[in-house]
Amino acid sequence: MKYVSTRDKNARGVSSAEAIKTGLAPDGGLFMPESIPSLTEDDFRSLAVLDYPGRAAFILSLFLDDYGIGRLDGYARESYREERFPGGAAPLRKVSDGLFSLELWHGPTCAFKDMALQIMPRLLSGALTMTGERRTAHILVATSGDTGKAALEGYRDVPGVKITVFYPRDGVSRMQKMQMTTQEGGNVNVTAVEGNFDDAQTGVKRIFSDGAMRERADRDGTFFSSANSINWGRLAPQIVYYVSAYCDLMNGGAIKYGDTVNYVVPTGNFGNIFAAFIAKKMGLPVGRLICASNSNRVLTDFIETGVYDRNREFFKTISPSMDILISSNLERLIFSVAGAETTASLMDELGRTGRYKVPADVLAAVRETFSGYSADENETRDEIGKLFREDGYLVDPHTAVGFRCAEKYFADTGDGTVTVVASTASPYKFPADVCAALGDPVGSDDPAEALNALSAATGTDIPAPLARVLTLPVRFTGSVSPDKMEDAIFG
């Protein structure tokens, strides 16, 4: 299986190991498999009797054929083992009749990013071996909170790799900051940037594109690599849980093979929901894919009108991981429905003007599969309270956006198809906001108090990894100004 750039109309391909090692295509496009493998009914029946690592190894082997299924099975067993994902990697919970929650946050950092960032470091390590790379990969991450911690936890002590994470000093929650500054591992570095997320992000991009920096890294026997969701190595593992949820619905008797299922995905960068789209193209019987946004409804508007326009007011919400106006992975969808030439010209327009409009036939193809809905802050808080009161189900603000959008879709369409909402974070990652939404505000901004208050208010348990963070010593206290981030890298 070869990988081609979304912007290359000559479709020159590279191996999956090469695509994972380099992350981004040389022309600035994103890597896509040149064809999408398909799953037969027999495949579904075989997958249904496997555990999560077995399902992951099989599906990944269709895309990453140069790795071989034996190696992938080893990676998956290691990544998703019980100790890292107590109770299983992607359990499906029934919330009410025909409505299920796919809980993707039982990993070491309590957000869905673990599903990919536990296995991606192994995929990278394997890629370094397969491509004969002798240098150490230095992963650079700018984070607004969840990605940084999940990447640190995934890459810690992985051979041949080191990682530096930059977070905005005053732009992450106290819980998120504690999770990162107490990070364990011998190959990790965490530095605060005296600025906001954009300053950190701009600094990382500057370092990536600076020839002198690259040469300096090379002299040190290293090269820079990225861990964000434009890398195919992060996207591919996310396809697995949509197929896995379908198998679990079959096993539980909620559906029989061939019945369609809707998936609702709380969306920021369009990575998670794009993985669902790939699963559909592989033959997963999907009804609608419902793209759920918070007040930053750039994608809702796109699906409604065909105009993608990031020149708009930016809202800081209680679902911060979806506070995104640049949904990078949408480029992959455009490529899938319109091809490389159209993608290259639309992305050029986006770079110049911050806006593009897709042709009518492209919009029609998008709308054939996707519905877009958004939930504002009041609706999100209201949904947290409602789900807990009516269904005894506790969700975080991102997941609440998903459930509210599902309800709006049902109300609009009367569709009674079995529906799965992707639950993307533990409510304990946002304890103060969840308590407030339940009508039980926490009096202090101390993370320990907020965790205890949520547990007391709901009779649920604090996830062990978050309780543990409170007991760890702080290791990383350094900060740099945005123009001095280089110093944190070469120290």
Ligand X SMILES: *Cc1c(COP(=O)(O)O)cnc(C)c1O
Nearest residue to 206 (alpha-carbon basis) of 484, 490, 18: 484
Residues listed for the chain: 491
DSSP string across 337-355: HH-HHHHHHHHHHHHHHSE
Query: What does the block give as tokens for 47?
Result: 């997958």
Query: What does the block give as tokens for 431?
Result: 């304890």
Q: Return the residue matching tokens 């208010």.
A: 457
How far, in whole angstroms, is CA 202 from its chain's centroid?
A: 20
Instruction: Check if 113 is active-site.
Output: yes
| Cβ proximity to ligand X, 320 vs 482, nearer residue | 320
| Min dist. Cβ of residue 113 to ligand X (A) | 5
Contacts within 8 Å (CB) and 24+ apart, 195-202 = 195/168, 195/169, 195/481, 195/482, 196/168, 196/170, 196/171, 197/142, 197/143, 197/144, 197/168, 197/171, 199/168, 199/482, 200/142, 200/143, 200/166, 200/167, 200/168, 200/482, 200/485, 201/142, 202/482
The answer to whether residues 183 and 164 touch, using CB atoms and an 8 Å cutoff, is no
Q: Return the residue matching tokens 């992985």.
A: 158
Site residues, ligand X (CB under 6 A): 111-113, 146, 229, 266-272, 321-322, 398, 424-425
Q: What are the angstrom distances between the C-alpha of 326 and each of 296, 298, 299?
A: 10, 9, 10
| Min dist. Cβ of residue 356 to ligand X (A) | 19
| Min dist. Cβ of residue 164 to ligand X (A) | 20
**490/320 Cα distance (integer angstroms):** 31
| Cβ proximity to ligand X, 58 vs 270, nearer residue | 270
Q: Which amino acid is at 8?
A: D
| Cβ proximity to ligand X, 118 vs 187, nearer residue | 118
| Min dist. Cβ of residue 375 to ligand X (A) | 13
Pairing relationship of beta strands 136-142 and 307-309 according to DSSP bridges: unpaired
The answer to whether residues 332 and 311 touch, using CB atoms and an 8 Å cutoff, is no
The DSSP symbol for 474 reads P
| Cβ proximity to ligand X, 229 vs 380, nearer residue | 229
| Min dist. Cβ of residue 82 to ligand X (A) | 23
| Cβ proximity to ligand X, 105 vs 155, nearer residue | 105
Q: Return the residue matching tokens 């010593």.
A: 473
The DSSP symbol for 171 reads S
| Min dist. Cβ of residue 369 to ligand X (A) | 16
| Cβ proximity to ligand X, 146 vs 248, nearer residue | 146
| Cβ proximity to ligand X, 17 vs 240, nearer residue | 240
| Cβ proximity to ligand X, 54 vs 427, nearer residue | 427
| Min dist. Cβ of residue 229 to ligand X (A) | 5
Question: Which one of 2, 9, 21, 113 is the catalytic residue?
Answer: 113
**20/90 Cα distance (integer angstroms):** 24
Residue 73 neighbours by CB distance under 10 Å: 17
| Min dist. Cβ of residue 396 to ligand X (A) | 7
Kindly list the catalytic residues. 113
